[in-house]
């Protein structure tokens, strides 16, 4: 199963793609979809939509994992993140890709067994678990890999510790 994890943002969206085969997980690709600050929001959302679609088609993605609902103190920031999340979800849904949402705590638990892990700790765990060099990766990409790994754990290892949510 090819899983796309997406850490959504308007200007810098992280993505991580892994192949899950039983208990074996392999990193296929990870990186960022970046939008310049001078681009209007509408162009950023369009670039995000097509960027996600290109990843799905290029890597033959089967399923996607994104962060669940986001609650922020700044209403404007929360709205913009919601727009970006909507663009990602629409891009995935238009290609019939099932989407699963996980809270940051669930992702951190799946990555390292600690729901309060820092971004640095998650990145280090992704490095050792998936055999990648994180020195050149941004946290948005390693967070996206964490989302993909979280879904892989839920989908491939369904037991009392991991249960699979319904797609959103």
Active site residues: 7, 67, 140
Tokens for 10, please give them.
Answer: 């308007």
Q: Would you list the DSSP string of 46-68?
A: HHHHHHHHHHHHHHT--EEEEE-
Distances, alpha carbon 5 to alpha carbons 40, 43, 73, 143, 144, in Å:
25, 22, 25, 8, 5
What whole-number distance in Å separates Cα of residue 82 and Cα of residue 107? 19
């Amino acid at each position: 199963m090819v899983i796309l994890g997406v850490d959504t943002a308007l200007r810098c969206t992280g993505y991580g793609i892994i192949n899950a085969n039983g208990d074996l997980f392999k990193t296929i690709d990870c990186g960022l979809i970046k939008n310049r600050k001078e681009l209007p929001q509408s162009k950023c959302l369009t670039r995000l939509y097509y960027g996600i679609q290109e990843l799905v088609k290029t890597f033959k993605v089967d399923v996607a994992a994104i962060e669940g609902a986001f609650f922020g103190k700044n209403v404007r920031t929360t709205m913009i993140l919601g727009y970006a999340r909507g663009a990602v979800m629409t891009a995935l849904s238009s290609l019939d890709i099932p989407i699963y949402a996980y809270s940051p705590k669930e992702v951190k638990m799946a990555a390292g067994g600690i729901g309060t892990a820092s971004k640095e700790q998650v990145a280090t765990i992704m490095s050792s678990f998936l055999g990648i060099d994180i020195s050149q990766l941004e946290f948005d990409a390693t967070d996206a890999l964490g989302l993909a790994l979280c879904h892989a754990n839920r989908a491939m290892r369904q037991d009392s510790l991991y249960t699979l949510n319904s797609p959103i």
